[in-house]
Amino acid sequence: MDWGRFAQQMASMARDLLAQDSLAATLERITASATELVDGCDAAGILVLHDKRVETLAPTHPMVTDSDRLQERLGEGPCFDAAHSSHGERVFRISDLTSEQQRWPAYAPQAHKLGLG
């Protein structure tokens, strides 16, 4: 990875975020930036957990909302688990969701049907 270029992109994104005129526009810019800056990220959203109820903010694709609702219904999945982690520090790097059936036995096969890989 070209870290110098990545740093420039992050600085540009930060300036762009400051220029947004609303919270909704800022969140939409954040998720759009995720798809632009993160290799392999085709869709993004911000999952907010309210007790066990999930809210999806600024999704870039309907699949994001579908995945979040699936995690809410099943009570498992990478975003659901990360939101539940203490201090919000948990990160899941998943190269192939089909190999995650042990960690998320109900979520992984159904997420695959949604188009997540």
- Inter-residue contact 33 to 73 (CB < 8 Å): no
Residue-wise pLDDT tens digits, 83-99: 877 655 677 788 888 88
Average pLDDT rounded to a whole number, residues 23-51: 89
Return the half-sphere exposure (C-beta side, CA atoms, 13 A cut-off) of residue 46.
Answer: 14
Contacts of 88 by beta carbon, 8 Å cutoff, 6+ apart? 82
Q: Is it the case that residue 55 has pLDDT exceeding 90?
A: yes
Average pLDDT rounded to a whole number, residues 101-117: 90
Instruction: Tell me the two tokens of residue 94.
Output: 């998943």
Average pLDDT rounded to a whole number, residues 4-16: 79
Instruction: Give the torsion through C-alpha atoms of 80, 81, 86, 90, to 10 deg.
Output: -110
Rounded percentage of the chain residues whose pLDDT exceeds 70: 96
Q: Are strands 46-50 and 53-57 parallel, antiparallel or unpaired?
A: antiparallel
pTM (two decimals): 0.81
Q: Write down the number of H helices and E strands in the chain.
A: 5, 2
- Which of residues 59 and 5 earns the better pLDDT score? 59
pLDDT confidence of residue 18? 77
pLDDT confidence of residue 1? 66
